[in-house]
Structure 1
Amino acid sequence: MEKVDEFNQVQSVQKRRVFYIPGYDPIHPRRYRELYRKEGAEQARISGYDIDLKPKTGDGTYGWHASSDIDGAQTNAQVDVLVWSDIVRGSMSNSIPATYLQLVRTAFAYISTRALFNLMRLRKGPIIAALYPIGMLLGQFLLAFVLGRMAAGILEWGGERLLRITLGPLVSGKYLWVFEALGWALACVVVIYVLRWFQAKDGKFFAYYLMHDFAYSARWMGANPPALEERMSEFGEAIAQALSNDVDEVLVVGHSSGAHLSVSILADLIRAGRVPEDGPKLAFLSLGQVVPMVSFLPKADRLRRDLHDLSASDALTWVDVTAPGDGCAFALCDPVAVSGVEPEGKKWPLVFSAAFTQSLSPERWKELRWRFFRLHFQYLCAFDRPKDYDYFQITAGPITLYERYHDRPQSRSRIDVAASGYTSMS
């Protein structure tokens, strides 16, 4: 069956397996299914094709089935979300003092290793995002302290006035300490109340969430904790099984922190010889990656080795998509090159921009421009003025990732200067 899509290429995919690896996210994976359903329908309406979702049945990983009809070519895809949200939730302390301890520990990790200063040479946006929770949490504490002292001051002033009226100015001084003690107690109560209020409203501020996110990597100085390594091994098994199935392409999508997990998982599979030469095409799409936040830390030897090996492999196609409009990602930074581990004969990744300011209408861009967290997920959403990036055609369309982009040039704004202070590899 030969059908031609908008790229003037013969259909090469009728069946596809997609594995989506989310970033540091404690939310149930149904969120991604609903996002795919809603945004996929909107993109199909805008671009003039059909896409339909059905629930996945049976045991195993959470996911769904997507079928598309694009220019007369029908394609079926099974999308699985590889879940590590339970590990994320386990790393997110509900204790306010523990979060402030994480703040100190994380700041020390990035400053003492000079990783923060090296990262500043790349992009200001993600550094601002990294400093934001520190500034916000310190600001919350300062506000809580000021309000606490104001309340204490009012109580102490009122107490002194009461004592002067009831006992007289000579005797009242002996008992002022009572109201001073009550003032400090009241200050503590106010500080705790204000900090708990901010914590309860973190769905608007994202200070605690982002602090936990950056602290997770900083705690291990770039290494993967044992629980995460075990889960990554399970993810690798699921992908390896798919590579032995009767499908045309196995596509791994790593978003945000999920990008560097994907790098290590795929590097392990390729080194272990678990990508058959006569099997499905293996493709890797990294979106909104924050790889340097981890690879610049001193104990990220494993990740740096995996970046080095994956970038020279013939066993897969690797495309990296970011956008300068996404302030949470290292936009257009080649994760291999900036980490200082570029090998001879480097092939991957192909780095280009989703170009939010061009692929979104001025009205839509104006609406989203200051919604930084939402923009970090725009790669998984519909564009009302799409260019050559369409998440739904990539995951459910009729051609492979390689055929879609193999002749696309690297972005001219790509940053490929080695900037990491640590380049050791395990």
Structure 2
Amino acid sequence: MAQDLNRPVLRRRVFYIPGYDPIHPRRYRELYRSEGAAQAGISGYDIALKPKTTKGPYGWHVSARMDGQQVETDVEVLVWSDIVRDSMDSSIPATYAQLARTAWTYIASGALSRLMRLRKGPVIAALYPVGMLLGQALLALLAALVLVRLLGWATGFLPDLLSGVLSWCVAIVAAVALLRWFKAKDNRLFAYYLMHDYAYSARRRGANPPELEARISDFTDLIATALTEDVDEVLVVGHSSGAHLGVSVLADLIRAGRVPPDGPALGFLSLGQVVPMVSFLPDAHRLRADLQYLSARDELAWIDVTAPGDGCAFALCDPVTVSGVAPADKKWPLVFSAAFTQTLSPARWKELRWRFFRLHFQYLCAFDRPRDYDYFQITAGPRTLAARYDGRPASRSRIDVPVSKYTSVQAA
């Protein structure tokens, strides 16, 4: 089903799928409000947020005037933060057990060595929580040993057995307290957060757990309903881990014949994707099948935007091809870079360069030297995703060769 590229957008529905994030979706509303206002001031258009006009998930309404056209957009967040919070509800010993299982899954399967052939940034990000948690455990152990030595000297007047027991009891309590202190500071260190993130996909070797499959089904129903409404475009945005959820949602939607041939234009914008972290795992048959299927469909336009400056994403890695499942008639995604070093001024780039997690969200934010990527024009402007990037070439520096060891799309 070819999309009508001349069709203007007066009304749009946007479904935003966040990554592995336990935070309430109001965070995304406030980000959209503040960054949208900043981009409007830079780019010279009008954009304003109002309470949402639709039922269903948490969201907001956007009124914008761009290129002389008034556009009304309803944005909704497809929430799975409750699933994320449940998966993060682990004790310190359980987190270290997750570390061992996750490291074994990626190393023993060969996935880690294949991922290292892509981009170093996200692999370093994956190894960061391992190193940080092991470092915390080592510091706690060293602190305990030092305390044992000091307390042994201080309690030398006591019988040896009593002195030893007392010293070790105090040392163990101190080591546990230090580990708890590190965990309490994880809102700055992100070691536990990232460990839970990688462990969530690794625990089933790339297969979706039942609760996530159920949520994907719910998301599919919501988008299918929107495609029957009087709107000009339905746009799905998947950020970070939300990108591979979006792949499965849209694949299910199209397989089921739920995209009306005369309905709204359907677009999929994947941002800062980390698809290979899952698709390279042995049992990610479902995701690889969805990637293969979606990449050849006419029912949608799929644009994939990353940036080498984002150390948490697999920048310019075609998620279909590197996963080894590109079909002969592959059409999507169109892969290009948001080029942070060019679309942010030197002063702004200097300010953000080492704020790795903030840069991972830059796709949702304002650029002070914008080029052809503008999140707010895409989500609230008068052109469909397909029309906006019609004829736009893919980035020449993209990685589009098969890399994954596992390419099966069906369970053995």
Q: TM-score, normalised by structure 2?
A: 0.97
Displacement of 1:345 in angstroms is: 1.1
**The one of 59, 62, 67 aligned to 2:63:** 67
The answer to whether the 8 Å contact 2:54/2:74 transfers is: no
Larger Rg, first or second structure (1 or 2): 1
SS in 2 for 1:408: coil
Q: Name the CA distance, whole Å, in 2 between partners of 1:415 and 1:60.
A: 38
Matched to 1:270, the amino acid is I
Of the candidates 13, 28, 46, which is equivalent to residue 50 of structure 1? 46
Distance in 1, matches of 2:67 and 2:227, equals 27
What is the CA-CA distance between 1:180 and the residue it aligns to?
A: 1.3
Aligned ranges for residues 4-23 of structure 1 at < 5 Å?
A: 12-23=8-19
Bigger CA drift: 151-160 or 352-361?
A: 151-160
Aligned pair partner of 1:221 in 202, 205, 223: 205
The aligned runs of 1:19-418 (5 Å cut-off) are 19-56=15-52, 59-160=55-156, 163=157, 175-418=159-402
Structure-2 residue corresponding to 1:6? none
Distance, in Å, in 2 between the alignment partners of 1:27 and 1:197 is: 22
Contact between 1:253 and 1:284, CA under 8 Å: does it hold in 2?
Answer: yes
Question: CA-to-partner distance for each residue in 1:119-153, whole Å, 9 max, x for gaps?
Answer: 00001000000000000000011111111211221
Distance 1:408 1:353 in 2: 12
8 Å Cα contact 1:63-1:80 kept in structure 2:
yes
SS in 2 for 1:245: coil
Q: Deviations over 1:146-186 (max 9, x none)?
A: 112112211101112xx1xxxxxxxx7xx122111111111
* Distance across 2 between alignment mates of 1:262 and 1:58: 21
Q: Is the 8 A contact 2:53 2:74 kept in 1?
A: no
Corresponding residue of 1:168? none
| Separation of aligned partners in 1, 2:131 and 2:390 | 43
Shift of 1:93: 2.4
In structure 1, stretches of 5+ residues that fail to align are: 1-8, 164-171
Q: How far apart are residue 321 of structure 1 and its match?
A: 0.2
Question: Closer, same or farther in 2 for the Cα pair 1:11/1:277, shift >3 Å?
Answer: closer
CA offset digits 1:248-294 (Å, max 9, x no partner): 10000000000000001100111111111100000000000000000
> Structure 1 runs of 4+ off > 2 angstroms?
none
- Quote the Cα distance in structure 2 between the aligned partners of 1:118 and 1:240: 36
Q: Deviations over 1:345-382 (max 9, x none)?
A: 10000000000011011111111111111100000000
Amino acid at match of 2:92: I
Identity %: 71
User: Is 1:93–1:99's contact at 8 Å kept on the other side of the alignment?
Assistant: no
Q: Tell me whether 340-349 or 175-184 shows the greater mean CA deviation.
A: 175-184
Aligned residue type for 1:74 = Q
1:311–1:346 CA contact under 8 A, matched in 2: yes
Gaps of 5+ in 2: none
Cα distance between partner residues in 2 of 1:86 and 1:237: 19
Is the CA contact (8 Å cut-off) linking 1:357 and 1:365 kept in structure 2? yes
Equivalent residue letter for 2:45: Y
Structure 1 length as normaliser, TM-score?
Answer: 0.94
SS at match of 1:74: strand
| Distance (Å, rounded) in 2 between the aligned partners of 1:59 and 1:146 | 56
Letter in 2 for 1:234: D
Partner secondary structure for residue 145 of structure 1: helix
Q: Secondary structure in 2 aligned to 1:18?
A: strand
Q: Distance in 1 between matches of 2:36 and 2:86?
A: 32
Structure 1 range deviating more: 140-149 or 250-259: 140-149
How many Å separate the matches in 2 of 1:10 and 1:24?
Answer: 36
Residues of 2 paired with 1:10 and 1:338: CA distance?
33
Question: What is the alpha-carbon distance in structure 2 between the residues aligned to residue 10 and residue 298 of structure 1?
Answer: 43
